Amino acid sequence: MAKLYFSYSAMNAGKSTLLLQASYNYHERGMKTLLFTSSVDDRTGTGIIASRIGLEQKADIFSGDDDLFAKISAAMDKGQVDCVFVDEAQFLSSDQVWQLAKVADDLGVPVMCYGLRTDFQGKMFPGSAELLAIADHLREIRTICWCGRKATMVVRLDGDGKVIEAGEQVVIGGEEAYVSLCRRHWRARELD
Protein backbone atom coordinates (compact mmCIF):
# COMPACT_ATOMS: atom_id res chain seq x y z
CA MET A 1 0.00 0.00 0.00
CA ALA A 2 1.44 3.37 -1.04
CA LYS A 3 1.85 6.05 1.60
CA LEU A 4 2.32 9.79 1.95
CA TYR A 5 5.62 10.58 3.71
CA PHE A 6 6.84 13.84 5.20
CA SER A 7 10.48 14.32 6.14
CA TYR A 8 11.02 17.67 7.82
CA SER A 9 13.75 19.66 9.53
CA ALA A 10 15.32 23.04 10.02
CA MET A 11 17.50 24.55 7.29
CA ASN A 12 20.69 22.79 6.19
CA ALA A 13 19.87 19.32 7.52
CA GLY A 14 20.30 17.57 4.17
CA LYS A 15 16.68 17.18 3.05
CA SER A 16 17.46 17.66 -0.64
CA THR A 17 20.45 15.33 -0.41
CA LEU A 18 18.26 12.59 1.08
CA LEU A 19 15.58 13.15 -1.57
CA LEU A 20 18.11 12.89 -4.41
CA GLN A 21 19.68 9.79 -2.85
CA ALA A 22 16.30 8.07 -2.50
CA SER A 23 15.38 8.92 -6.11
CA TYR A 24 18.75 7.56 -7.25
CA ASN A 25 18.03 4.29 -5.42
CA TYR A 26 14.81 3.88 -7.43
CA HIS A 27 16.61 4.60 -10.71
CA GLU A 28 19.37 2.15 -9.83
CA ARG A 29 16.72 -0.57 -9.64
CA GLY A 30 15.20 0.34 -13.00
CA MET A 31 12.28 2.28 -11.54
CA LYS A 32 11.01 5.71 -12.57
CA THR A 33 10.55 8.67 -10.26
CA LEU A 34 8.81 11.99 -10.70
CA LEU A 35 10.44 14.95 -8.94
CA PHE A 36 8.78 18.26 -8.04
CA THR A 37 10.12 21.45 -6.51
CA SER A 38 8.49 24.78 -5.80
CA SER A 39 8.54 27.59 -8.32
CA VAL A 40 9.21 29.88 -5.33
CA ASP A 41 12.70 28.48 -4.68
CA ASP A 42 14.96 29.54 -7.53
CA ARG A 43 18.28 29.62 -5.63
CA THR A 44 19.90 27.16 -8.06
CA GLY A 45 17.62 27.84 -11.02
CA THR A 46 14.00 27.08 -11.74
CA GLY A 47 13.15 23.40 -11.75
CA ILE A 48 16.37 22.20 -10.10
CA ILE A 49 16.67 20.29 -6.85
CA ALA A 50 20.19 20.91 -5.57
CA SER A 51 21.97 19.98 -2.37
CA ARG A 52 24.75 21.87 -0.63
CA ILE A 53 27.13 18.96 -1.30
CA GLY A 54 26.81 19.34 -5.05
CA LEU A 55 24.12 16.86 -6.06
CA GLU A 56 21.39 18.13 -8.36
CA GLN A 57 18.56 16.88 -10.53
CA LYS A 58 16.02 18.48 -12.83
CA ALA A 59 12.47 18.52 -11.51
CA ASP A 60 9.02 19.65 -12.52
CA ILE A 61 7.92 22.77 -10.73
CA PHE A 62 4.71 23.37 -8.82
CA SER A 63 2.96 26.65 -8.07
CA GLY A 64 0.29 27.28 -5.48
CA ASP A 65 -2.64 26.74 -7.84
CA ASP A 66 -1.39 23.61 -9.65
CA ASP A 67 -3.42 20.41 -9.42
CA LEU A 68 -0.70 17.91 -8.52
CA PHE A 69 -3.02 14.91 -8.77
CA ALA A 70 -3.77 15.88 -12.38
CA LYS A 71 -0.07 16.47 -13.17
CA ILE A 72 0.94 13.11 -11.72
CA SER A 73 -1.94 11.30 -13.42
CA ALA A 74 -0.90 12.82 -16.76
CA ALA A 75 2.70 11.73 -16.19
CA MET A 76 1.50 8.19 -15.43
CA ASP A 77 -0.49 8.16 -18.70
CA LYS A 78 2.82 8.78 -20.52
CA GLY A 79 4.79 6.12 -18.65
CA GLN A 80 5.62 4.36 -15.43
CA VAL A 81 5.90 6.34 -12.18
CA ASP A 82 7.10 4.30 -9.19
CA CYS A 83 7.52 7.13 -6.70
CA VAL A 84 6.86 10.87 -6.47
CA PHE A 85 9.31 13.15 -4.63
CA VAL A 86 8.47 16.71 -3.56
CA ASP A 87 11.18 19.11 -2.41
CA GLU A 88 10.34 22.39 -0.60
CA ALA A 89 7.05 20.83 0.52
CA GLN A 90 6.41 23.69 2.95
CA PHE A 91 5.29 25.70 -0.11
CA LEU A 92 2.47 23.26 -0.95
CA SER A 93 -1.07 24.48 -0.36
CA SER A 94 -3.38 22.47 1.89
CA ASP A 95 -5.31 21.36 -1.20
CA GLN A 96 -2.10 20.15 -2.85
CA VAL A 97 -1.24 18.04 0.18
CA TRP A 98 -4.63 16.35 -0.12
CA GLN A 99 -3.99 15.87 -3.86
CA LEU A 100 -0.75 14.07 -2.99
CA ALA A 101 -2.59 11.92 -0.46
CA LYS A 102 -5.00 11.01 -3.25
CA VAL A 103 -2.01 9.98 -5.43
CA ALA A 104 -0.92 7.55 -2.72
CA ASP A 105 -4.45 6.33 -1.91
CA ASP A 106 -6.02 6.14 -5.37
CA LEU A 107 -3.09 5.72 -7.77
CA GLY A 108 -1.01 3.49 -5.48
CA VAL A 109 2.16 5.58 -5.88
CA PRO A 110 4.23 6.48 -2.81
CA VAL A 111 4.75 10.23 -2.32
CA MET A 112 7.79 11.45 -0.39
CA CYS A 113 7.73 15.10 0.67
CA TYR A 114 10.69 16.99 2.13
CA GLY A 115 10.51 20.45 3.68
CA LEU A 116 10.75 22.85 6.55
CA ARG A 117 8.39 22.57 9.50
CA THR A 118 8.45 26.21 10.64
CA ASP A 119 9.53 29.61 9.41
CA PHE A 120 11.97 32.07 11.04
CA GLN A 121 9.25 33.26 13.44
CA GLY A 122 8.48 29.73 14.62
CA LYS A 123 5.19 29.60 12.67
CA MET A 124 4.07 26.62 10.62
CA PHE A 125 4.05 26.77 6.85
CA PRO A 126 0.61 25.79 5.44
CA GLY A 127 1.98 22.81 3.49
CA SER A 128 3.93 21.54 6.48
CA ALA A 129 0.96 21.90 8.83
CA GLU A 130 -1.24 19.84 6.49
CA LEU A 131 1.45 17.21 5.99
CA LEU A 132 1.98 16.90 9.74
CA ALA A 133 -1.77 16.42 10.09
CA ILE A 134 -2.38 13.78 7.40
CA ALA A 135 0.87 12.10 6.30
CA ASP A 136 1.08 8.37 6.90
CA HIS A 137 4.70 8.55 7.97
CA LEU A 138 6.60 11.44 9.60
CA ARG A 139 10.38 11.65 9.90
CA GLU A 140 12.43 14.37 11.50
CA ILE A 141 15.79 14.94 9.84
CA ARG A 142 18.17 16.32 12.39
CA THR A 143 20.76 19.03 12.21
CA ILE A 144 22.62 20.72 15.02
CA CYS A 145 22.82 24.13 16.61
CA TRP A 146 26.21 25.76 17.18
CA CYS A 147 25.99 24.51 20.78
CA GLY A 148 25.68 20.87 19.71
CA ARG A 149 21.99 20.45 20.58
CA LYS A 150 19.40 19.43 18.02
CA ALA A 151 18.41 22.44 15.88
CA THR A 152 14.66 22.72 15.39
CA MET A 153 14.32 26.43 14.62
CA VAL A 154 15.79 28.91 12.16
CA VAL A 155 16.54 32.63 12.31
CA ARG A 156 16.68 34.96 9.33
CA LEU A 157 19.61 37.36 8.99
CA ASP A 158 19.85 40.77 7.36
CA GLY A 159 22.76 41.75 5.11
CA ASP A 160 24.89 42.58 8.15
CA GLY A 161 24.36 39.22 9.84
CA LYS A 162 21.85 40.55 12.39
CA VAL A 163 18.73 38.57 13.31
CA ILE A 164 15.48 39.80 11.72
CA GLU A 165 12.35 39.25 13.82
CA ALA A 166 9.61 40.44 11.43
CA GLY A 167 8.83 40.36 7.74
CA GLU A 168 7.46 38.21 4.96
CA GLN A 169 7.15 34.50 5.77
CA VAL A 170 8.97 33.54 2.58
CA VAL A 171 12.28 35.10 1.60
CA ILE A 172 14.43 32.72 -0.42
CA GLY A 173 17.98 32.34 0.77
CA GLY A 174 20.57 29.87 1.95
CA GLU A 175 23.30 29.84 4.54
CA GLU A 176 23.87 33.58 4.08
CA ALA A 177 20.28 34.34 5.11
CA TYR A 178 19.32 31.64 7.63
CA VAL A 179 20.90 29.91 10.61
CA SER A 180 19.50 26.79 12.28
CA LEU A 181 19.40 26.90 16.09
CA CYS A 182 18.09 24.91 19.04
CA ARG A 183 14.94 26.38 20.58
CA ARG A 184 16.88 27.88 23.49
CA HIS A 185 19.27 29.85 21.27
CA TRP A 186 16.47 30.73 18.84
CA ARG A 187 14.53 32.32 21.72
CA ALA A 188 17.64 34.22 22.82
CA ARG A 189 18.64 35.04 19.20
CA GLU A 190 22.18 33.84 20.01
CA LEU A 191 24.15 32.98 16.87
CA ASP A 192 27.24 31.73 18.77
Which of these ranges, 48-52, 145-149, 167-171, has the smallest mean pLDDT? 167-171
* pLDDT value of residue 161: 84
* pLDDT value of residue 158: 85
pLDDT over 90 for what percent of the chain?
70
Which of these ranges, 47-51, 57-61, 128-132, 137-141, has the smallest mean pLDDT? 47-51
Q: Which domains does the chain have, with CATH numbers?
A: 4-141 (3.40.50.300)
C-beta of residue 63 within 8 angstroms of C-beta of residue 110: no
C-beta of residue 156 within 8 angstroms of C-beta of residue 169: no
- 128-165 pLDDT, tens digit per residue, is 999 999 999 999 999 999 999 999 999 888 888 888 88
139 CB-contact burial (10 Å; exposed 0-12 / middle 13-18 / buried 19+)? middle
Selection from 8, 10, 7, 9 nearest residue 181 by Cα: 10
pLDDT of residue 90 exceeding 60: yes
- 30-44 pLDDT, tens digit per residue, is 999 999 998 876 666
Selection from 42, 41, 102, 45 nearest residue 68 by Cα: 102
pLDDT of residue 52 exceeding 90: no
For residue 136, CA distances in Å to 16, 52, 125, 184 come to: 20, 28, 19, 30
- Return the active site residues: 88
pLDDT over 70 for what percent of the chain?
94
Residue type, 152: T
Question: How far from the centroid of its chain's Cα atoms is residue 53's Cα?
Answer: 17
